[in-house]
Amino acid sequence: MRTAAEAPERSGERPLEAFPGRGAVSNPAGRFESSHALAADDGWGSLDEPLPPLETIVLPEPARSVISRNDSPDVPFDQSINPYRGCEHGCVYCFARPAHAFVNLSPGLDFETRLFFKQDAAARLREEISRPGYRCSPIALGTNTDPYQPIERRFNVTRSILELLLECAHPVSIVTKSTLVLRDLDLLTELAQRNLTRVYLSVTTLDDDLKRRMEPRTASPRARLATVRALSRAGIPVGVMYAPVIPAINDHELERIVEASAAAGASSVDYLLLRLPREVRDLFYQWLEVHFPERATKVRTRIHELRNGRDNDPRFGARMRGSGPWADLLRARFEAARRRFGLDGADSGPLDRSAFRRPAGDSAQLCLW
């Protein structure tokens, strides 16, 4: 499959264009579809007609289980929960996009407009952590799609999960781009007082214009840093994730983001390099051609230098940080910035799992045996 940067122009096709409030610039069929559709000029000027607005559709997704487990050496958790499938934030680089193919939808615009919520997530979680064989380990929220994306205001799936985890004294970490996390300050404060939570705000850029192009429905950089400040003042351990770092797009902001994170009260900062798995590769390069055509070749070349000559390098140990001279330089800059702004220490130790107790319920008496 060729990327937008490589593919020649073909007459009669609708040109790629940005959709207001959306990240992807196309809606390609999922990789499991048996047929692909292509918009073409029928002789009546149909390609010149404006496209209708893209509406967001949300549907329930029943779940038999909600805890996902992994043994990857590249991530600091082995359990996670994704309250939502798809994400209205519309971040063009999101590595979760390919998962939409499993429900016969596109990883492009469908990922941003055809969303699913796990309406019974808390009930399924209660069942799973009530089992006699369950071993308590911190659960990560926000590792795939944002648990505080806009539809959380309506469906409260994330809050219901946090309420249960607080009831059971179960440790949980959160990664988000949203100020909506402050709605749950009451739960997070109590979890933090018992060393049961840590929150990370993803801050990708301090440039409002770049944010609007790359992450169209997320909170502004200033609002995210204000959220870091509010969490810190409430006594909640909060860090910043500078992710993803995109060469020739936002990598020049590294030192400024570390400085701003420290000023906002973050206790830690980390970074991750851009990943382009499966369909994300073509979606990202199409976005690049629309928004930064003059940089497209440079960005692609630099990605190859960071990814062992490829668009994506899935090897453990390399996929999060990259490899080669540019990766080494980025790592050195980051460590120097952390030292300079006093964020070179580790997080405040592991979350407490010793206080965990199985939730009360019909089977609570069985837990005595």
Q: How far apart are the first and last CA of the chain?
A: 57
Is 222 inside any structural domain? Answer: yes
Give the span between the Cα atoms of 166 and 157, in whole angstroms: 15
Is 48 inside any structural domain? Answer: no
8-state DSSP, 57: E
pLDDT in 10s for each residue of the chain, 369 residues: 333 334 334 334 556 777 778 888 887 777 766 666 666 555 555 555 555 567 899 999 988 889 988 877 667 778 999 999 999 999 999 999 999 988 899 999 999 999 999 999 999 999 999 999 999 999 999 888 999 999 999 999 999 999 999 999 999 999 999 999 999 999 999 999 999 999 999 999 999 999 999 999 999 999 999 999 999 999 999 999 999 999 999 999 999 999 999 999 999 999 999 999 989 999 999 999 999 999 999 999 999 999 988 888 888 777 788 889 999 999 999 999 999 999 976 667 899 999 999 987 644 444 443
Return left, alpha or beta for 278; rule: phi > 0 is left, psi -120 to 50 is alpha, else beta: left
Domain that holds residue 81: 59-342
SS3 state of residue 243: strand
Is 126 inside any structural domain? Answer: yes
Is 236 inside any structural domain? Answer: yes
Q: By the 8 A CB rule, do 203 and 257 touch?
A: yes
Is 73 inside any structural domain? Answer: yes
Sign of CA dihedral 293, 295, 301, 304: negative
Structure token digits, residue 316 = 């453990």
Is 350 inside any structural domain? Answer: no
Return left, alpha or beta for 166; rule: phi > 0 is left, psi -120 to 50 is alpha, else beta: alpha
Is 63 inside any structural domain? Answer: yes
The enclosing domain of 77 has a CATH number of 3.80.30.30
Is 176 inside any structural domain? Answer: yes
Residue 366 has phi, psi (to 5 degrees) of: -65, -25
Packing angle, helices 296-306 and 280-291, rounded to 10:
150
Q: By the 8 A CB rule, do 219 and 205 touch?
A: no
User: Bridge-partner residues for 242, per DSSP?
Assistant: 271
Q: By the 8 A CB rule, do 280 and 98 touch?
A: yes
Tally of domains in the chain: 1
Q: By the 8 A CB rule, do 276 and 303 touch?
A: yes
